[in-house]
Structure 1
Amino acid sequence: MKNNNKAILDVHEKPKAAQWLTLSLQHLFAMFGATVLVPFLVGLHPGVALVSSGLATLAYLLVTKGQIPAYLGSSFAFITPIITVKALGGPEAAMVGSFLAGLVYGVVALFIKGFGFKWLMRILPPVVVGPVIIVIGLGLANVAVGMAMNNPATKEYSLTHFTVALFTLAVTIICSIFFRGILGIIPILIGIISGFTFAYFRGIVDFTKVAEARWIQAPEFMVPFVNYTPHFSWSIAAIMMPVAVVTISEHIGHQLVLSKVVGRNFIEKPGLHRSILGDGLGVMIGSMIGGPPVTTYGENIGVLAITRVYSVFVIGGAAVTAILFGFSGKVTALISTIPTAVMGGVSILLFGIIASSGLRMLVDNNIDFGNKRNLIISSVILVTGIGGAALKFNANFEIAGMALATMIGIFLNLVLPGKEKEQDLNSMFKAESKDNGTAA
């Protein structure tokens, strides 16, 4: 696999000491806005999310033998499942579900090691994955709009808050369209900073927590058998585990794009089974300390493409810096002071992009909706997923929302006649190479 852009720093090259921190901070800033947004939405501690992101990335680099320069940040695909599971059994249940999702990665990695990955593509063709990704984005639409419009204190409409949200949204869009280079990779971060500043002048920012926080302060970890006793539930498993199947398919897409950017075939060496195992291990590490599930980030692939700095030492430096940030009480307190309206404004764009990326997958793979088979599969996935359909077997076991939609989509794809010719893997994910957007 050739790469026409010669690397400034190749995968195993160390940067000079003076450059190392700057290059690592670029990757940290690229993932920062989206990674802290996930715990903000699901009610987890942002400091723990930063620590788990850093630890997960270091584990990923270890499992992949330091051959893949990829950063792992909070996954948007798990937002709705985490919220659902927390309603059933609290944050502890969400951590158990995240651990089970990580196990799915491990099982899939073993199957890929033994049988290759074409079987996975047969189970998850674009006609299934595309609509599920749309469900992930549109299923969060009410969350984003509610955060943007409502005063969190009264839960009622607030013109001030909505104005802040619209300002944040406008700045983020302008940065995405008109900024180039590194600034074009971090529109989320710029939007949050700009919206936060605007919100301060509108009088809805309170720095009391920042003033009271210590510079060095451990985040609020949730460690099993220390802070709580984990309990297995079939309902939790049914809600969380199917999501991993979708994020794994996106992981494959990221690996293909990353291979093109760096000029090495990471699918073959160190192997897709290793990268998926590393991703799953990262998810399990996060669940052991109270962090959200993680995934490879398109933003960080974009940084690699622009800077041509592919060094895993730079990625490792970003991971260590994220961990240090997580242990800074001032940093995590500052994150907690960001108004929900600011996050709501950013979320309107982010969740829309996720939904649009699912639509783009269908378009780029020439999915023919004149074909009744394709029309039926996508239609059922969309309505059951967005509508919140649920199978409730008893008080302790139900399959709902996106998880149910994914399972129904896989089933329909396997049993309905008239399956089209199997999609080429590179074709399925070619859209990702055009636009390394926010990782779902």
Structure 2
Amino acid sequence: MAFSWKLYGDGKTPPIGEAVAPDERLTWPRTIGIGAQHVVAMFGATFVFPIVMGLNPNLAIMMSGIATIIFLLIVAGKIPSYLGTSASFVGGVAAIRAQGGDSSDVVGSILIAGAVLAIVGLIIHFAGAGVVHRVLPPAVTGAVVMLIGFNLAPVVAGIYWPQDQWVALLTMAFVIVCSLVLRGFWARISILLGLVFGYLVSWIFDKAFGQIHSITGSSNGEQIDHFRTDFSGVGKADWIGFPPLTAPHFSFNFALLVLPAVIALIAENAGHVKAVSEMTKRDLDPMLGRAILADGVGTVVASSVGGSPTTTYAENIGVMAATRVYSTAAYYVAAIVAILLGLCPKFGALVAATPGGVLGGITVILYGMIGLLGAKIWKENRVDFANPINLVPLAAGIIIGIGGVALVFSDTFSLSGIALGTIVAVVGWHVARVLAPEEMRTALRSEAGYYGGTGPAVGEFGVHEVSETGADYESPDPSSVDQVGRPGTPHNNR
């Protein structure tokens, strides 16, 4: 692919009713400015999720830039996208660590999941986008996303929130207010604003009230006296340096715990491609397989050195909607900036020092949002739970996933939680569909999106694109979209 873009008009911001296509660009100063907006938009979630997974945030940010470049090359620049850290793996990673796994086990398992995702992408590329919906209908996808999110509730309740309940409460309240009161770009970075706010509150509380007696992330549940903020690591860190790498270690048992995230990633990519296709008024269904393949390759490359799993980011779709600039040149700029940020150990030390109470306030929202995205998939596709095909197997899978129910085969192998819940939901739904009487199968076919297309997915439901930070935008009325595509009006969730 040649790194060349046509200059859009005079290189200035497009007028109302027009937009900059993926193969076009504004002047380089403006392109760099928009690229910087993409960095800020992806920033909060991209380094928060590595922290809660126990991975290095500097390496995650740097590898997100590399993964984005890989993605753009594989899709031949036709799908503008930034690959940030995926939230879908958090539940599986928590389960790995709960079973004694370390970071090597975590990134090894993620690498296997990335390879599986890449293989699925190849299959979809040759078999067609419709295969996604036939294998993973909205009813099943929603159930898997829901159990992944809600399975994380004990992590918040047992690890982050108890470290400082008042800071957690204030941070949570601040994020909620920001997501409701702020507009457009600022609403999309409400998580980042909440993290800064929580950091500041923790520092003020240290000065005003002194040490707190509570657990810490490294105290194994024992309550000790400690300051909420600790900047000693920041002072010792260099300004320029390469982040520490972690070699992957492969375990079949641990890999099973994160493989359900592949379903969520397929859904996220399908939703992203559909949203960009609608915004640019271009048929991108033939590119879905490439997009999923590219995400899988990005995850493999990132995790091979100890980085975090990747996924296409809805936050950056929001930036495109606000700026009406879909140029992939801006994404290359964002990727380069992310790589440079990853090469600053002092920045990484500051991120790693985020107080536990702040993470408690942020994750209680983020984890809940992941779960509720599953419910939104059901709602937008009018999934009928009066139909036993949907109700019975999915109910069982969700409770197994959230409750951590285990199926023990031997002393060394068992299935539990997210892995077992996903298997029950996916396999159980298809078995139920085969065994059900004809009238139930007929009713099932009437559900929105049951056949054809890629269907709504995580982050993309009908006319709304939901970001990991809670902001969304309203997609355009197809009748009002011009040749390139005009985005709708950014707004907050209501």
Q: TM-score over 0.5 for the alignment?
A: yes
Identify the match of residue 411 of structure 1 among 412, 422, 427.
Answer: 427
Letter in 2 for 1:194: F
**1:229-240 superposed matches below 5 A:** 230=249, 232-240=250-258
Report deviation, 1:332.
Answer: 0.4
Which structure has more RCO (C-alpha within 8 Å, separation ≥ 6)? 1
- SS, match of residue 288 in structure 2: helix
Report deviation, 1:249.
Answer: 2.0
**1:17-36 superposed matches below 5 A:** 17-36=28-47
Report deviation, 1:148.
Answer: 4.5
Q: 1:264 aligns to what?
A: 282
**1:115-130 superposed matches below 5 A:** 115-130=127-142
Q: 1:426–1:82: structure 2 CA closer, same or farther, 3 Å change rule?
A: closer
Q: 1:38–1:13: structure 2 CA closer, same or farther, 3 Å change rule?
A: same
Contact 1:137 1:351 survives alignment (8 Å): yes
Q: 2:467 aligns to what?
A: 437
Q: 1:338–1:233: structure 2 CA closer, same or farther, 3 Å change rule?
A: closer
1:145 has 2:157 as partner: yes
Q: 1:185 aligns to what?
A: 188
Contact 2:133 2:454 survives alignment (8 Å): no
Q: In 1, distance between residues paired with 2:70 and 2:455? A: 30
Report deviation, 1:136.
Answer: 1.5
Which structure shows the bigger proportion of residues in helix conformation? 1
Query: Which ranges in structure 1 are unaligned for 5 or more consecutive residues?
Result: 152-160, 225-229
- SS, match of residue 112 in structure 2: helix
Q: 1:82 aligns to what?
A: 93
Contact 1:205 1:338 survives alignment (8 Å): yes
* Per-residue Cα deviation, 1:50-72 (whole angstroms, up to 9, x for no partner): 11111111110111111111011
Q: 1:97 aligns to what?
A: 109
Q: 1:5–1:281: structure 2 CA closer, same or farther, 3 Å change rule?
A: farther
1:314 has 2:330 as partner: yes
Q: In 1, distance between residues paired with 2:178 and 2:469? A: 18
Identify the match of residue 357 of structure 1 among 370, 373, 387.
Answer: 373
Identify the match of residue 163 of structure 1 among 163, 166, 172.
Answer: 166
Q: In 2, distance between residues paired with 1:179 and 1:362? A: 28
**1:43-82 superposed matches below 5 A:** 43-82=54-93
Q: 1:391 aligns to what?
A: 407
* Per-residue Cα deviation, 1:357-395 (whole angstroms, up to 9, x for no partner): 111111121112222221102211211100112233234
**1:270-309 superposed matches below 5 A:** 271-309=287-325
Letter in 2 for 1:42: M
Of residues 397-406 and 292-301 in structure 1, the stretch that sits farther from structure 2 once superposed is 397-406
Contact 2:270 2:455 survives alignment (8 Å): no
Q: In 2, distance between residues paired with 1:352 and 1:320? A: 32
Contact 1:75 1:439 survives alignment (8 Å): no
Structure with higher Rg: it is 2
Q: In 2, distance between residues paired with 1:211 and 1:8? A: 45
Query: Which ranges in structure 2 are unaligned for 5 or more consecutive residues?
Result: 1-14, 207-227, 471-494
- SS, match of residue 126 in structure 2: helix
Q: 1:179–1:79: structure 2 CA closer, same or farther, 3 Å change rule?
A: same
Report the RMSD for the aligned CA atoms in angstroms.
2.1
Contact 1:123 1:413 survives alignment (8 Å): no
- SS, match of residue 369 in structure 1: coil
Q: 1:157 aligns to what?
A: none
* Per-residue Cα deviation, 1:321-372 (whole angstroms, up to 9, x for no partner): 1111111012101101211111111111111111111111111211122222
Contact 1:147 1:341 survives alignment (8 Å): no
* Per-residue Cα deviation, 1:115-161 (whole angstroms, up to 9, x for no partner): 2132321221111111211111111112223445322xxxxxxxxx2
* Matched pairs, number: 420
- Please report the TM-score for the alignment, with normalisation by the length of structure 2: 0.81
Q: 2:232 aligns to what?
A: 208
Q: In 2, distance between residues paired with 1:427 and 1:337? A: 40
Report deviation, 1:201.
Answer: 0.5
Percent identity of equivalent pairs: 34
Report deviation, 1:26.
Answer: 1.0
